Amino acid sequence: MNKIVIAIDGYSGCGKSSTAKEVAKKLGFTYIDSGAMYRATALHFLNENLSPLRAEDVEKGLKGLQISFQFNPTTSQQETYLNGVNVEDEIRTMRISERVSEVATVKAIRTALVAQQQQLGQKKGVVMDGRDIGSVVFPEAELKLFMTADVETRAQRRQLELLAKGEQASLEEIKLNLESRDEVDSNRTESPLLKVSDAIEIDTSSLTFSEQVEQIIDLVKKVTLN
């Protein structure tokens, strides 16, 4: 299999991360969760009591920010580290979901994270998911996908994920959070979420997880055979 870059963008909670992770595993590619980087940044700003909307706080926050990923052989998952501390579970909580879109509107923060994402993907053989991967991070990606699903389905899936981690949240609360993040992510000035013209849309509302993965693997085969 040729080493290509697969960019997966789309709305919050439509299964981008879990699908991207499985596709990467099947292909022997590296998976990079760019949303985890925005989440870790939001956690850092909260921990340090910094406002992402104040320029001097942003400068200070970015100076003291180090994000990395490490594979955990026990869980067979790649986990997110903030300044050397494993924050994988903490960044998935509603507390962070409620703050992260604001952090992701800030140009200086995006510039810093995009530079790190480009560096992580420079050797190719990567699957990266986010909101601006096909448009800004890897505009030359060989395969660009745009994933969607209706908001009810997304909220139900997210509720199950949170429950599996011991966090209870109502469907209504989750739905409101997904809708408000979609709204902020799609309408911000800096790198808004959009479907670029060369992206292939995949609506996962009525697809099973393995169907989603198989559709993408088929597309990868087509791209790499050409």
Q: Interface residues with ligand DC (CB under 6 A)?
A: 12, 34-35, 38-39, 100-101, 104, 130-133, 181, 185
3-state secondary structure of 212: helix
Question: C-beta of 38: minimal distance to ligand DC in Å?
Answer: 3
Angle at which helices 107-120 and 34-47 cross, to 10°: 130
Closest to ligand DC by CB, 22 vs 185, is 185
The residues, ordered by sequence, that sit 6+ positions from 148 with a Cβ below 8 Å of its Cβ are: 10, 11, 14, 201, 202, 203, 204, 205
Question: C-beta of 226: minimal distance to ligand DC in Å?
Answer: 27
Question: C-beta of 35: minimal distance to ligand DC in Å?
Answer: 2
Closest to ligand DC by CB, 133 vs 143, is 133
Bridge partners, 148 (sequence order): 203
Closest to ligand DC by CB, 52 vs 130, is 130
Closest to ligand DC by CB, 118 vs 205, is 118
HSE (CB half, 13 Å, CA atoms) of 61?
27
Question: C-beta of 83: minimal distance to ligand DC in Å?
Answer: 19
Measured distance CA(166)–CA(196) in Å, rounded: 37
